[in-house]
Amino acid sequence: MTTILLLGKTGQVGFELEQALGPVCRLIAPGHAEADLTDADAIRALIKNAKPDVIVNAAGFTIVDAAESQTELAMQLNATAPGIIAECAEQCAAVLIHYSTTFVFDGTKREPYTEADTPNPVNAYGRSKLAGERAVVAACRRHLILRANWVYSARRTNFALAMLKLAREKAELEIVNDQIGSPTWARDYAAATVQLIADHGRLRDSSGIYHLSAQSHCSRMQWAQKLIDCARAMPGAGKSWAALRPTTTAQYPHPAPRPLYTVTSNQKIEATFGIRMPVWEDRIEAFVRSLPWQ
């Protein structure tokens, strides 16, 4: 049975990965105490003892605005640690699946980004993730770097949960309508990862960077409206929901600049592994149904 070491099991994607991978492999999923990514010796000892066939790294510093003021920690978790993990993966002949982000792009393009496009991050978070990609490529020959887009889940802090909470508390919300991306349920990232690992031979022979997100795209305002429409129909959810009004990113500034367009093409991963992600709208209703409404 394949031995998989999962890092980051308490995050949005990591939690779903633990649920999905547990039944299909010998899974080692340490917590923070056992996998301190600020401790290089601890990382090396963990991987040496685990002897994994595959390492899935879903850990990292993911708070985009906080990365502007905590640049050293963001770089440690998103770049230095992945480089050490990659070195260890190379030494034990493991495949490394590493989650990155579409925030490595500047958002000035107006058609889906491909893996051939040149990254140009506009914030500290994106710069740290790009540094992590480069560290992985430099240290480990057998790697898959998955660039994720607009992740949401029932855990942690994310746009979907924030919208559902605020829309029940306020009569009106202003939502930016000039940020365009592909909302992708963390559960679908986990399912795609299971499919990748199942094709173990191709996995080892097809190293590289791959874009992976839900099909199609929308603005953040369209995403929020879809969430509210689905939630309003749920038994026990109540009928009083905020009206949405459009605004722009310029009118709603954050500490970290945001790329306005992060839509990516999934053509490469579809052609290589046969993975076709669901359309973003089709998954919102299932996500909303999974939440406790009673």
Q: CA torsion, points 221, 224, 225, 228, in degrees to nearest 10?
A: -160
Strand partners, 144: 97, 208
Q: What percent of the chain has pLDDT over 90?
A: 90
User: Which positions ≥6 away from 159 have C-beta within 8 Å?
Assistant: 150, 152, 183, 220, 223, 224
| Residue at 20 is within a domain | yes
Across 23-37, 74-88, 92-106, 134-148, least confident range: 23-37
Judge contact between 283 and 188, C-beta under 8 A. Answer: yes
Q: What is the mean pLDDT of residues 234-256?
A: 91
User: What confidence tens digit (pLDDT) does each residue in 105-133 have?
Assistant: 999 999 999 999 999 999 999 999 999 99
| Residue at 88 is within a domain | yes
pLDDT of 294 higher than 60: no
- At 26 the pLDDT is 95
Measured CA to CA, the distance from residue 31 to residue 267 in angstroms comes to: 35
- At 156 the pLDDT is 86
**Mean pLDDT, the chain, whole residue set:** 96
User: What confidence tens digit (pLDDT) does each residue in 171-216 have?
Assistant: 999 999 999 999 999 999 999 999 999 988 899 899 999 999 999 9
| Residue at 49 is within a domain | yes
CATH number of the domain bearing residue 31: 3.40.50.720
Q: CA torsion, points 97, 102, 103, 105, in degrees to nearest 10?
A: 120
Kindly indicate the confidence band of residue 32, based on its pLDDT and cuts at 50, 70 and 90: confident
Judge contact between 78 and 135, C-beta under 8 A. Answer: no
| Residue at 68 is within a domain | yes
Measured CA to CA, the distance from residue 73 to residue 204 in angstroms comes to: 31
Distances (CA, A) of 175 to 122, 149, 178: 21, 18, 9
User: What confidence tens digit (pLDDT) does each residue in 131-174 have?
Assistant: 999 999 999 999 999 999 999 999 888 999 999 999 999 999 99
- At 239 the pLDDT is 76
| Residue at 247 is within a domain | no
For residue 215, give the amino acid letter. Q
Measured CA to CA, the distance from residue 53 to residue 55 in angstroms comes to: 7
Judge contact between 99 and 57, C-beta under 8 A. Answer: yes
Pairing of strands 180-181, 218-219: antiparallel
Task: Give me the active site residues, please.
Answer: 125
| Residue at 109 is within a domain | yes
| Residue at 164 is within a domain | no
Q: Which of 174, 156, 141, 169 is nearest to 60 (CA)?
A: 156
Measured CA to CA, the distance from residue 212 to residue 60 in angstroms comes to: 18
Judge contact between 59 and 31, C-beta under 8 A. Answer: no
| 238: number of Cβ within 10 Å | 10
Domain of residue 146 covers 3-157+183-215+264-278
Judge contact between 212 and 243, C-beta under 8 A. Answer: no
Instruction: Using the Cα atoms of residue 62, residue 65, residue 70 and residue 76 in order, give the sign of their dihedral.
Output: positive
| Residue at 233 is within a domain | no
Q: How many independent structural domains does the chain possess? A: 1
Judge contact between 81 and 31, C-beta under 8 A. Answer: no
- At 223 the pLDDT is 98
Measured CA to CA, the distance from residue 6 to residue 284 in angstroms comes to: 26
DSSP per position, 28-75: E---TTT--TT-HHHHHHHHHHH--SEEEE--S---TTGGGT-HHHHH
Q: What is the mean pLDDT of residues 37-43?
A: 95
